[in-house]
Copies of this chain bind each other. A is one copy, B any other.
């Protein structure tokens, strides 16, 4: 659960490598967006996609998520993947393997129709890769009804932490079993609506099954 000993500290580490940030962000579809409203935290889970040095946030329904958030609001997008329960010889050294990222920045609504359409395509491709080519394009009305916000990824304005490996050597003689219980998110076989029963599962859906809950 905690690991203030040296061996624990070495296994739990922050990274300043940008590729590590990208890998954590790209391994998820949904993050937790936190901002500040009237001095208090305000939080909502959102679909997102990373596009180079920016994060595109899908605004959900018109009445929804980001109506509280003004342009320029300070915000943080947080993502965490649980990889294992790390079973030590005592509860003190028991821990989790994980990969987490928090990106700090400011929110900017995307209002230009072409930029909005391009941004939504990136979110759509993260959720169902290749789906846009399989279906009718989004109408102007649908585009207008969808909120899209972006946040730049700025140098030094993010935190990536992870823990990997086993529990380390016990500090006292013990017969306790030690090891790890790996955790992972999987996609099951697609379930067709009644109207699509017997129809071939499209490539976009097969690709989503292959990727599980990862954007890439």
Contacts and interface: CB of A to CB of B under 8 A. Distances in A.
Contacts of A195: 169, 178
Interface stretch (A15-23, A108-116, A198-206): A198-206
Nearest to A139: B92
Interface string A31-67: 0101110011111110100000000001111110000
A164 interface: no
Where chain A touches its partner, the secondary structure class is mixed
Interface residues of A, number: 97
- Copies of this chain per assembly: 2
Contact of A104 (B40, B176, B192, B212): B40
A1 B138 CA distance: 11
A75 B41 contact: yes
A29 B84 CA distance: 11
Given A182-B188, A190-B179, A47 B96 contact: yes
B186 A184 contact: yes
Interface in A53-98: 58-63, 74-76, 78, 80, 82, 85, 87, 89-92, 94, 96, 98
A173 to B, nearest CB: 11
B61 A127 contact: no
A111 to B, nearest CB: 16
Contacts of A124: 1, 91, 94
Given A1-B120, A47-B96, A82-B213, 4 more contacts: A9-B61, A40-B104, A92-B142, A177-B201
